[in-house]
Amino acid sequence: MDTGLTNKVVLVTGGSSGIGAATAVAYGAAGARVALTYRSGPDRARQVAERVEQAGGEALAVPLDLERHETIEPAVAAVTERWGDVDVLIGNAVRWGTIMPNSIPFEEVPAEEWTAGLHANVVGNALLVKAVLPGMRANGFGRIVLISSGVAEEGVPGPGVYGTAKMALHGMARALAWDAGRDGILVNVVAAGLTLTERERPVSQEMLDSVAARTPTRRLSTAEDTAGLILYLGSGANRNLTGEIVRDGSNAARSAHL
Ligand SMILES: NC(=O)c1ccc[n+]([C@@H]2O[C@H](COP(=O)([O-])OP(=O)(O)OC[C@H]3O[C@@H](n4cnc5c(N)ncnc54)[C@H](OP(=O)(O)O)[C@@H]3O)[C@@H](O)[C@H]2O)c1
């Protein structure tokens, strides 16, 4: 299958770890020019950049903090100055905030936490899209994949900020699919379930096993599994799928918090 990604310019936010890192490497293997962003981990980002190059792509690590909106345009500008317009945007970075089920009752979440979570994860992603869209429209080609979570549709007891912000990305993708489709730009969401990455999670082995047991394949997705799905949606191989919320195998296990 031709992904059409050779020399395409791909921007993966949050590419310094986990799903973003695996996605950056997958694009590298497809021959793309991959910009990966980091917030606190420049060394991790450099290591991922090396893996992208070893896989056969070109790589550039750039700082980006969704909480600091003034960093968004410069990050995109650094990419376009190096390689030209961004062809593929993977909105993967996340400000996690407090996400553990039952960690805080809803009414105890401070207003500041709502503002910070939506400021970073919703408005930050909107500004990112805003920065790459003109180039995509001018070129008549673009792929945008926003990374959401099963938590958005499923809901878990607790703070709710993370899930609310992720659900907003579903609305953003639907609107964008209509707005940009006529310009050759396809926009989709990957709603990942609990995913195995190299990072330590505050999730017990018991919970991982329990969620895995309730998936069709009886296993959780790895970062590489999810990267493969993202790569397909964010490539020329995806010819006309847009405005969809695509759920991976881990996300088929509902009520993971019970
Ligand atoms: N892992 C899962 O089980 C799972 C499940 C469902 C959905 N997801 C979604 O999948 C995506 C990736 O998750 P992951 O587990 O791979 O994450 P991760 O390993 O924690 O990596 C998060 C990435 O985002 C960056 N980041 C953190 N705060 C940021 C901020 N304020 N602004 C910009 N970048 C920031 C981090 O950069 P630094 O490390 O450099 O600070 C890192 O590159 C997220 O959107 C997440 O919500 C994950």
| Host domain of residue 96 | 9-252
DSSP state of 59: E
Contact at 8 Å (CB) between 183 and 142?
yes
C-alpha 223 chain-centroid distance: 11
In a domain, 124, yes or no: yes
In a domain, 257, yes or no: no
CA-derived radius of gyration, the chain: 17
Whole-angstrom CA distances from 134 to 4, 21, 83, 104, 229 are: 21, 26, 16, 41, 26
Mean pLDDT along residues 24-51: 98
More confident position, 232 or 156: 232
DSSP state of 128: H
Query: What share of the chain has pLDDT > 70, as a percent?
Result: 98
More confident position, 210 or 72: 72
Residue 99 clears pLDDT 90, i.e. is over it: no
In a domain, 245, yes or no: yes
* Residue 245: how many other CB atoms lie within 10 Å: 18
More confident position, 100 or 178: 178
User: What's the gap in Å between 191 CA and the centre of ligand 1?
Assistant: 13
Could you give phi then psi for residue 64, rounded to 5 degrees? -160, 130
Mean pLDDT along residues 72-99: 96
Q: What is the pLDDT of residue 254?
A: 63
Q: What is the pLDDT of residue 51?
A: 98
Mean pLDDT along residues 25-48: 97
User: What's the gap in Å between 174 CA and the centre of ligand 1?
Assistant: 22
pTM of structure: 0.97
CATH number of the domain where residue 214 is located:
3.40.50.720
pLDDT mean across residues, the chain? 94
Mutation test residue for ligand 1: of 12, 13, 39, the one with most atoms within 8 Å of CB: 39
Instruction: Report the first-to-last Cα separation within the chain, whole angstroms.
Output: 40
Question: Collapsing DSSP states into helix, strand and coil, what is residue 55?
Answer: helix
In a domain, 75, yes or no: yes
Please, what sign has the CA dihedral across residues 234, 239, 245, 249? Answer: negative
Mutation test residue for ligand 1: of 11, 12, 19, 250, the one with most atoms within 8 Å of CB: 19
CA dihedral 176, 169, 12, 224 (to 10 degrees): -120
Distance between CA 171 and CA 17 in Å, rounded? 26
In a domain, 198, yes or no: yes
More confident position, 203 or 97: 97
Could you give phi then psi for residue 104, rounded to 5 degrees? -140, 135
The total of structural domains in the chain comes to 1
Mean pLDDT along residues 154-171: 92
At 183-218, the pLDDT tens digits run 999 999 999 999 999 887 778 889 899 889 989 999
Residue 256 clears pLDDT 60, i.e. is over it: no
pLDDT band at residue 255 using 50, 70 and 90 as cut-offs: low
In a domain, 3, yes or no: no
In a domain, 258, yes or no: no
Identity of the residue numbered 16: S
Residue 235 clears pLDDT 70, i.e. is over it: yes
* Residue 257: how many other CB atoms lie within 10 Å: 15
User: What's the gap in Å between 91 CA and the centre of ligand 1?
Assistant: 10
Residue 94 clears pLDDT 70, i.e. is over it: yes
> Atom 46 (ligand 1): residue with closest C-alpha?
94
- Helix 161-180 with 111-118: angle, nearest 10 deg: 30
Q: Which residues are catalytic?
A: 162
pLDDT band at residue 258 using 50, 70 and 90 as cut-offs: very low
